[in-house]
Amino acid sequence: MNNTDKNRIIDLIKAGEKLPKEDIYKLCADEEDVFLFWYGRKEDTTNIALPFHSIEHIDEPRKEAKAQTSLFETDLRGRQLKGWTNKLIWGDNKLILSSLANGPIREEIEKEGGLKLIYIDPPFAVGADFGFEIQIADETVEKKQSIIEEIAYRDTWGKGISSYLTMMYERLKLMHHLLAEDGSIYVHVDWRVSPIMRMICDDVFGQINFQREIIWSFDTKSGYKSAVDNFIRSHDTILFYSKSNSRIFNKQYLPYSEEYKERFKKFDKDGRAYRDDRGSGVKQYLDELKGISVPDVWSDIKSFQQDATSLEYLNYPTQKPEALLERIIKASSNEGDLIADFFCGSGTTAAVAEKLGRKWISTDLGRFSIHTARKRLIGVQRELQASGKDFRAFEILNLGKYERQFFMDDLTAKDTKNLQSTQSNFGELSETSANFAVINLFTPKEDLFINLILEAYKAKRIEGHATLHGSKAGRFVNVGPLDVPVTQSRLMDIFEECRQKLYTQVDVLGFEFEMGLSPQFIQELKEKGVAVTLKYIPKDVFDKRAVEKGQVKFFDVAYLNCQLSIVNYQLTITLTDFVTHYTQDDIEELQQTMRAGSRVVIEDGQIIKIQKDKNGIISRALLTKNWSDWIDYWAIDFNYEDKKEIIKTSSGSGFKGLKDGQDLRTKNNPENPNILVNPDTDKEYWTGNYIFENEWQSFRTKKTPSLEYTSIAHEYKKAGKYKVMVKVVDILGIDTSKVIDVVIK
């Protein structure tokens, strides 16, 4: 590039003009012949390390004590006490990958020998609808994906292929960083993105580490999609890359055909078939041959389009057969190795890994995905238990309030940058607009948070109140804190202000609510003159596009009731009721806009199927006829305060939610004895919460669609006071919990 070109480019940059592509290529030129470039490409990756919350620990107890093995150290219930605990993580996989790579769990991963294998099946169907089917009573209906999943999908495809590449590029770089030197990655794609994804993987992993392009070929004899006016699409592509040339690989074999076996026509005195007709005179025994080496075209594994009746099929979009993952896991890992899937869907990778004796990490953005995987993995634990095999406990993690803090900090930083840019151009704005920009530029962070939530809730901001922040349709609104639960004492403060000002209705919005809150307490407030409604704030509020389009939905807090029976140190729990007032859809607006067909909507705690025929006649059918129709899963921790939730943070991780030496104590948790383990490296803190240890559960499956409503009898070893937690997960994948005080005499 000559000086004239350089000066021209400098002038363009100063003027804020876009650079021609040929100039960008010249600026980025190096010794390579080809440089992969697209709009939005960034070389830096997220490097923050947010602490993980362990919200549930699941290990189906063994029916009898087993001998201690080299893999597990157990107590009499078969609970795993030491060693790696498998991880099912709910959240944005970019933040999860960054936190795994840069946080304390990285050390745990390295102690297990490193991450040996990654399989991912990222979204690649442009315009696809990733809804899911839910079973309600005797009917199966489709529920649309959540708003947060729609947002993620729009982020992926909002600007076409360039935004998809940006999304995948950063995540693949984080995966490369996390992968062990002898590890491999399999990236599952289809015809839409296969060519460009290969170039991206070449860029990240190096073309020299490309191993194979695997073709997963579907059988078309069944007539699948045979009506299309084109050649029949009958395969997906799986790109196989290694981190280095020292990759793990175990050759896989297919059984010989019957035609080939017929060549072994002779038998020795022991009845073993052999052949010696190949000129060498050496006997070749059939039972000594491993089989046909698996080629890079896999036509022996059926897709679920061909076999939708399989009990393995969970009606989950994008679900892949276990046989496919079994081949990949066996080929590129060994027993005891750690593997991962960062787009886990229904949990196929984790389920197969567990069956094959591998350790695993599995993550997904969707709440329903995590719930589907949880049920599936408990089922695997039960299968292994029944056959007398060992299995590992797994825990459900999320980034909790730290993810919310990150999102809020990110939004604040973007707003500040945009407003500062606006402030520098006040001369071009009207006086009103300039004043508005200045006000927003210097608005405290807490007020920005409250304004964001109120806007998403479609409420107006009000001033002059101690506990109330807004109003909506005659009801007042309180916005709960970003990082701690809404407590009973907070509700009492809200109640007192409402009572003094003669307000009778208030909505309290929160990300989390204190465990002790009960419908009885809410009813008492109502009887005293103030009707309080509790609503969950969804993570969707942190996407301004969803807020601006009015797409954010706030769910009412649900309640469960149960009955206890205590006989001779034994406790039995019966689930007796589930109360919800969920409202997610505007039915009147839907009925006006919907075409002929059917939709499932939620209105005031009921799920309704609305049908519109070709003549415009609308009919409504109530699907949730009983409270039990809402429940998909319930579980019990018989001694909830038995295991404290300890989180780790790392110095220098880039996480600003905790400063060095800062503890997690809050006014709502004044007796939190946080423990500083190592002030120079990692820190461990008790959050003040406890981990839900899933000791008993009942849930619906395709094979067993009915629930048990009474638990087994749990026997306590000694008398005393215990706290028991009961958790219900409804058919939308939303958790509701209740803590009960139990006295054993």
Give residue 56's pLDDT. 92
Please check whether residues 467 and 541 belong to one and the same domain.
yes
Q: Which helix (H) or strand (E) holds 494?
A: helix 488-500
Beta strands 505-510 and 475-479 are parallel
CATH code of the domain containing 470: 3.40.1350
Please check whether residues 393 and 406 belong to one and the same domain.
no
Structural domain includes residue 614: no
Please check whether residues 142 and 222 belong to one and the same domain.
yes
Give residue 191's pLDDT. 82
Which of 611-627 are b and which e, b meaning 16 or more Cβ less than 10 Å from the residue's Cβ? Answer: ebeeeeeeeeeebbeeb
The residues, any chain, with a CB within 8 Å of residue 720's CB and separated by 6 or more, are: 743, 744
* In contact, 431 and 441? CB cutoff 8 Å: no
Structure tokens given for 114: 């490193």
Please check whether residues 280 and 411 belong to one and the same domain.
no
* In contact, 406 and 95? CB cutoff 8 Å: yes
Question: Which residue type, as a one-letter code, is found at position 577?
Answer: D
Vertex 687, ends 682 and 691: CA angle to 5°?
A: 105
pLDDT (tens digit, 9 = 90+) per residue, 143-202? 554 444 454 445 554 556 777 888 899 999 999 999 999 999 999 998 888 898 999 999
Of 58, 57, 61, nearest to 76 by C-alpha is: 61
Q: How many Å apart are CA 402 and CA 83, to the nearest integer?
A: 26
Q: Which of 557, 588, 604 is the last residue of a domain?
A: 557
Number of H helices, E strands in the chain: 18, 36
Specify the DSSP class assigned to residue 51: P
Please check whether residues 428 and 523 belong to one and the same domain.
no
In 3-state terms, what secondary structure has residue 555?
Answer: strand
Structural domain includes residue 658: yes
Structural domain includes residue 615: no
Q: How many Å apart are CA 121 and CA 112, to the nearest integer?
A: 24
Q: What is the 3-class SS of 700-728, one letter each residue?
A: CCCCCCCCCCECCCEECCCCEEEEEEEEE
Cβ-in-10-Å burial (0-12, 13-18, 19+) of 607 comes to buried
Q: How many Å apart are CA 634 and CA 642, to the nearest integer?
A: 20
Please check whether residues 435 and 522 belong to one and the same domain.
no
Which alpha helices (H) appear in 15-67, and where do they start and end? 21-28
Owner of token pair 């520098």: 424
Give residue 463's pLDDT. 93
* In contact, 131 and 520? CB cutoff 8 Å: no
Please check whether residues 407 and 270 belong to one and the same domain.
no
Of 373, 295, 298, 326, nearest to 119 by C-alpha is: 326
Structural domain includes residue 8: no
The torsion region of residue 469 among left (phi > 0), alpha (psi -120 to 50) and beta comes to: alpha
Please check whether residues 678 and 668 belong to one and the same domain.
yes
* In contact, 649 and 104? CB cutoff 8 Å: yes
Please check whether residues 390 and 344 belong to one and the same domain.
yes
Q: What is the residue range of 263's domain?
A: 258-289
The residues, any chain, with a CB within 8 Å of residue 441's CB and separated by 6 or more, are: 416, 419, 420, 423
Owner of token pair 């063994």: 62
Structural domain includes residue 458: yes
Give residue 210's pLDDT. 97
Please check whether residues 356 and 490 belong to one and the same domain.
no
Please check whether residues 172 and 193 belong to one and the same domain.
yes
* In contact, 509 and 481? CB cutoff 8 Å: no
Number of domains comprising the chain: 5
Structural domain includes residue 732: no
Please check whether residues 378 and 426 belong to one and the same domain.
no
The residues, any chain, with a CB within 8 Å of residue 90's CB and separated by 6 or more, are: 363, 364, 365, 367, 370, 396, 397, 398
Give residue 64's pLDDT. 38
Structural domain includes residue 669: yes
Q: Which of 289, 306, 338 is the last residue of a domain?
A: 289
Give residue 588's pLDDT. 65
Q: Which residues of the chain have pLDDT under 50?
A: 62-79, 126-130, 145-149, 151-153, 157, 422-423, 425-442, 653-681
Q: How many Å apart are CA 422 and CA 398, to the nearest integer?
A: 37
Structural domain includes residue 566: no
